Chain A
Amino acid sequence: MTAKPLLEVRDLRVGFRTGGAETPILHGLDFAVNPGEIFAIVGESGSGKSVTAMSLMGLLPRASARIDAGRALFEGEDLLHLPPERLRAIRGSRIGMIFQEPMTSLNPVLSIGRQMTEAPVAHGRASRRDAARLAVEMLERVGIPEPARRPRQFPHEFSGGMRQRVMIAMAMMMRPSLLIADEPTTALDVTVQAQILGLMRDLVRETGTSMILITHDMGVVAEMADRVMVMRHGRIVEAADTASLFARPTQPYTRDLLAAVPRIDGDTPAPGPARKTAPPVLRLDTITKSFGGARPALAAVSLQIAPGEILGLVGESGSGKSTLGRAAARLTEVDGGTVTLEGRDITRLRGSRLREVRAGVQMIFQDPYSSLDPRLRIGRTIAEPLAIHAGLRGRLARARTGELLAQVGLDPEMADRFPHEFSGGQRQRIAIARALAAKPRLIIADEPTSALDVSVQAQVLDLLGRLSVERELAFLFISHDLSVVRKMARRVAVMRAGRLLEIGPTAEVLGDPRHAYTRALIAAAPIPDPAQRDRLTRAAPPGEYPDGPLRQVGQDHWVAA
């Protein structure tokens, strides 16, 4: 593009003070954003992508952060060296911003209308009355039903997706020439994400607003961006237009990053040896569970897992997938139905009998930071199941702990360290080692890689897949991410609102989905391939789906009618 850029950043350097020393976070960034384009900044955690946005807005934490050098020319003014009052006049009116957490980004004690109108009024752009009228128009534009009565409502009366729409409406109130969106859809379910992304793209196109989109998700980049800048450790790895970056990445880091992203149109694991005859390691029969809400968390869910099989379980938030996993491990008591582990009904077991059978099924959790007792050396954490079930202590336990650490790819010498000395990926490996220590036949993995960077995720997924094959270990692999499930599981189950909607071989369910909800999930999943970008469905999915009893539509393939 030859037009003068809207925003031109030169040699941006930012440091954070921790204790006495200053750690550089951004090491001199140069980039430009052109009028009307969507410019994505993508990177893993610690890349400095959010810090970049915050420094442009003057929103860095005052106490600890310092801009050491650089210029950021925006419509002729240097954002980094403006007096605070001038910068404040630009914020909100000429640069709008949308944040990641819709649940906490709105003030809970002020009405939506109040929060939407206060900025135009404060900037002297509109009278209170005009701003109120504009607010209703904007709410309608972002697709909120009954916009006229919404301004009187409070944030807690809106769902997460609706709140993010309100945030977008609020940011666009004054038609800013630049919109900065920091992980705007990361906290949202995938079907909601698709709608919000579509909305943002339409809005900026319609108004000619430029957008800086900050994200960790290559799929989102491919769906949205005109140009991409890849960041790592506070430096630019490479920047290019989206199509050529995905087609011909020049840097090895970009190539690795793209290769690590699981794809919903990718490969499924090759079919293993048929084990039809073996009795299932886990059988759930018409499990029901209610937490006292209007609808049950689980409504008569049945499924089984064969020895050594990985069953993927996908669903959005509130689908009951985690509750199902916990019920299978007897961490949540069920209201009805039976849990059968290796042919033994464990639904009503208590006390020491229950503790004995617990060794057979272990769990891996999502959050690597709270998965390990912070006060125990990791060797002791891993040895806990050994002490409980095998009575192993002392040197024997130590030797076995070392073996387990080696199996998950860690140095056995690390057994004497505390959890805070490890990274997220390493902690997740430790949690896997602990699960293996009990010699289970089944592991319930509840979003085991959702908190990890994509490159770390790929390694952990490989480890889990390898363990499953080597030890004939079965997995219930719970995830919100169809692409990850596709990579891991030969069979997949889809849940929504406490009910099982579709279950069958992964290739078949994802290749030829028979349930409307499965189709909606697949359609909403972003694909890291700019060539397929207009595939995303924008239409709000129906609120109701068929959720009756399952009927068979193919070999091992069942769908709710």
Chain B
Amino acid sequence: MPSNASPTPDTAANSAANTSAPVRRIARRPFWLRVLGTVNGAIGGAIVFVLILSAALAGWIAPYPPAKMAVGGRFGLPQAAHPLGTDEFGRDLFSRIVFGSRLTLTIGAIAVGISLIAGLAVGLTAAYRRGWVETVLMRSSDVLFSFTETLIALACVAVLGPSLQNAMIAVGIAGIPFYARTCHSAALVEVSKPYFEASVAAGAGHARLVFVHLLPNVFPTMVVVATLGVSSAILAAAGLSFLGLGAQPPDPEWGLMLSGAAHYLNRAPWLMVVPGLSIAVTVLGFNLLGDAIRSAMDPRRQG
């Protein structure tokens, strides 16, 4: 919590008292090893790695083009030629899932990219400029935040019209208030720290203050937010596609595939299992990875 006016002299004495013994130079394991060394990090990292692999090599992995109809019979059960069976148009489900990972990762990356860049810009500007700029920016973020992301995304789609591209933009915009708030509070902590003030007192200019001190110290927090944010962006975009407001047929988008399968709930319930599971595992992967990054950064758990 930022405290103003003059601080009580001895509170810092208390907090520092436990740690002011000489610190040995500890050879710490590299950051990524610490992340992937945990159970969460290993599982999450593996899932994300497989996803990236499948997206990059979709053309080689998938036996059929994703939209090609009647490569097998309709509603085919899993068999050697079609490991996950075929859908209502006789398309190979496995191929569609593999190509779908490409869409999913693209959605996650673009939506989070929009939220992250805009959120960083708003949050950093507000925390650095203070005054009325901060009031206006953060009040607006608060208002938008209380609208909830769903409402903002729906409004964006309502304006832009339903399409996969618009769904990504909508989800990205919907995320901005949260990213801006998180970035703002992280930046406020840094701005009030003595090292930042010392740099101000040394006569550092805006660029140095923001890019040498503020951004690098806020960035770790935002990496965690963004990693976890990939999951919620994927979920939100899949939800829009499921409603028909995102990806349009014949895109092999997992949410869209689910809504197609929902029509054949009685006839081919297995068609629902794989796309849903794919979304769940992807989201789980990014969540686990984000959690692992957060714990690896938490100073209390550093050895």
> A430 to B196, alpha carbons, bound, how many Å?
15
Interface residues of A in 448-496 (CB under 8 A from B): 450-453, 456, 479-481
Q: Name A365's contact: one of B22, B198, B203, B208 (CB within 8 Å).
A: B198
A514 at the interface (CB under 8 A from B): no
A297 at the interface (CB under 8 A from B): yes
A-B contact count (CB 8 A): 163
Q: Name B21's contact: one of A45, A321, A367, A368 (CB within 8 Å).
A: A45
Q: Which of B8-16, B75-83, B100-108, B242-250 contacts A (4 or more CB under 8 A)?
A: B8-16
Q: Name A452's contact: one of B20, B23, B213 (CB within 8 Å).
A: B20
Q: Which of A401-409, A417-425, A526-534 contacts B (4 or more CB under 8 A)?
A: A417-425
Interface residues of A in 164-181 (CB under 8 A from B): none
A369-B16, A420-B23 as given contacts; A358 in contact with B6, CB under 8 Å: no
Interface residues of B in 60-97 (CB under 8 A from A): none
Q: Is the CB of B194 within 8 A of A451?
A: no
Q: Which of A105-113, A148-156, A247-255, A312-320 contacts B (4 or more CB under 8 A)?
A: A312-320
Q: Is the CB of B6 within 8 A of A355?
A: no
B25 at the interface (CB under 8 A from A): yes
Q: Is the CB of A366 within 8 A of B198?
A: no
Q: Is the CB of B12 within 8 A of A367?
A: yes
The contact string, 1 if C-beta is below 8 Å from chain A, for chain B 185-224, is: 0000000011111111111110010001100110000000
A187-B14, A450-B12 as given contacts; A384 in contact with B202, CB under 8 Å: yes
Q: Name A331's contact: one of B26, B201, B213 (CB within 8 Å).
A: B201
B266 at the interface (CB under 8 A from A): no
Contacts of A435 in B (CB 8 A): 198
A370-B193, A451-B13 as given contacts; A421 in contact with B8, CB under 8 Å: no
Contacts of A358 in B (CB 8 A): 200-203
Contacts of B193 in A (CB 8 A): 370
* Smallest beta-carbon distance A551→chain B, Å: 26
> A55 to B204, alpha carbons, bound, how many Å?
49
Q: Name A368's contact: one of B8, B10, B16, B208 (CB within 8 Å).
A: B16
Q: Is the CB of B217 within 8 A of A373?
A: yes
Contacts of B216 in A (CB 8 A): 375
Q: Which residue of A lies closest to B192 (CB)?
A: A370
Q: Is the CB of B16 within 8 A of A317?
A: no
B273 at the interface (CB under 8 A from A): no
Contacts of A362 in B (CB 8 A): 198, 201-202
Contacts of A511 in B (CB 8 A): none
Contacts of B15 in A (CB 8 A): 367, 369, 451
Enumerate chain A interface residues (CB-CB to B < 8 A): 18-19, 45-46, 100-101, 160, 183, 186-189, 216, 291, 297, 315, 317-323, 329, 331, 352, 354-356, 358-359, 361-363, 365-376, 381, 384-385, 388-389, 417, 420-426, 431, 434-435, 437-438, 447, 450-453, 456, 479-481
Closest 10 A/B residue pairs (Cβ):
A424-B20, A365-B194, A322-B6, A358-B203, A480-B9, A355-B203, A451-B16, A45-B17, A46-B21, A385-B202
